[in-house]
């Protein structure tokens, strides 16, 4: 099954995008986050999401961030939720905490092993064993919007691609309505993945995760842990720019915009941007696509608030 190519529709008339943030760990990081939120509000995203540490390690910072986003901005806000290191009852308590502040959209994830990426995952006794079970549990608790993860290059713990897609199908069968992918940089890889997903009878939107490159060397280290491939062309694009931050940022925005434009030409309309709590590259990427801000600023989320 081939992806429909529609090269006659300008991206500005058809793109939808969402943004991902993470809870800040310090006052300076909080200032950076809320400055970013204030600026990215102008793009009127479809929704934004806030990450949640394995085992609830960022539960309170995530809850605080989500509460403020809902109270002080016009942004539709989703919270990530994991089941690592928690019983079902503990997960249910967390869900109720987030529901109480207005959350009705969860990004349901198993989460990284408590001992860190690359270590063996052990389900908590009495807890949800995986994201598919977590989705089913959320569906029993309420009529939530539920997004899940997807892996164009296979989750590093999956034995093969078939098992990986089978897990995605289980999540969908249990009530997931959208999948947000791990970042990738080879659009042919994504297209082949989407063909396999559709052949498996999975019809929900598979939203590409786009990572504007803040630091290529750091990204390579992270990619090696999560199973993502960094194509050689990126080394060529960033060659000689280590001491030229402005030129490096311009190339990063060009690369991200080119990736989105190519996926759009292949028939993809929805994109999930990993902001790293910084707005400059996201702004430049969207402007490179010919887009212009269309929303309004948040109320009281600036660094001085």
Cα 269 vs. chain centroid, distance in angstroms? 15
- Give which of 118, 55, 50, 104 is closest to 83, Cα–Cα: 55
Active site residue 27: no
Q: Rounded to 5 degrees, what angle do the CA atoms 209, 210, 214 make?
A: 135
Inter-CA distances, 65 with 150, 164, 279, Å: 25, 32, 17
The CA distance from 34 to 29, in Å, is: 9
The CA distance from 176 to 137, in Å, is: 11
The CA distance from 146 to 156, in Å, is: 23
Enter the tokens of residue 266. Answer: 């292949």
Inter-CA distances, 285 with 18, 157, 185, 233, Å: 13, 32, 15, 18
- Give which of 265, 253, 269 is closest to 188, Cα–Cα: 265
- Give which of 78, 5, 88, 75 is closest to 41, Cα–Cα: 75
Classify residue 118 by its DSSP letter: T
The CA distance from 169 to 171, in Å, is: 5
Cα 59 vs. chain centroid, distance in angstroms? 18
Catalytic residues: 20
């Amino acid at each position: 099954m081939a992806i429909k190519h529609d090269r006659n529709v300008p991206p500005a008339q058809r793109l939808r995008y969402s943004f991902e943030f993470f809870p800040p760990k310090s006052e300076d990081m909080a200032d950076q986050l809320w400055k970013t939120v204030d600026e990215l509000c102008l793009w009127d995203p479809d929704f934004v999401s806030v990450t949640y540490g394995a085992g609830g390690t960022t539960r309170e910072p995530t809850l605080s961030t989500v509460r403020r986003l809902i109270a002080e901005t016009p942004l539709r806000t989703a919270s990530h939720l994991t089941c690592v290191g928690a019983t079902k009852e503990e997960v249910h308590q967390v869900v109720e905490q987030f529901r109480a502040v207005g959350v009705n959209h969860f990004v349901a994830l198993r989460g990284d092993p408590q001992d860190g990426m690359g270590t063996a995952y052990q389900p908590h006794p009495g807890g949800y064993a995986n994201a598919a079970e977590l989705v089913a549990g959320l569906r029993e608790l309420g009529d939530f919007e539920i997004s899940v993860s997807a892996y164009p290059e296979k989750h590093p713990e999956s034995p093969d691609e078939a098992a990986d897609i089978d897990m995605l199908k289980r999540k969908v069968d249990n009530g997931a309505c959208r999948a947000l992918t791990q970042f990738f940089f080879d659009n042919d890889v994504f297209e082949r993945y989407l063909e396999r997903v559709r052949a498996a009878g999975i019809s929900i939107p598979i939203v590409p995760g786009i990572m504007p490159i803040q630091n290529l060397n750091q990204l390579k280290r992270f990619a090696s842990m999560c199973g993502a491939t960094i194509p050689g062309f990126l080394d060529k694009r960033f060659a000689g720019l280590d001491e030229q931050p402005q030129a490096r940022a311009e190339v990063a925005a060009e690369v991200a915009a080119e990736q989105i434009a190519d996926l759009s030409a292949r028939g993809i309309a929805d994109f999930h941007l990993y902001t790293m709590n910084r707005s400059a590259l996201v702004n430049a990427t969207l402007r490179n696509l010919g887009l212009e801000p269309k929303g309004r600023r948040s109320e009281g989320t600036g660094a001085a608030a």
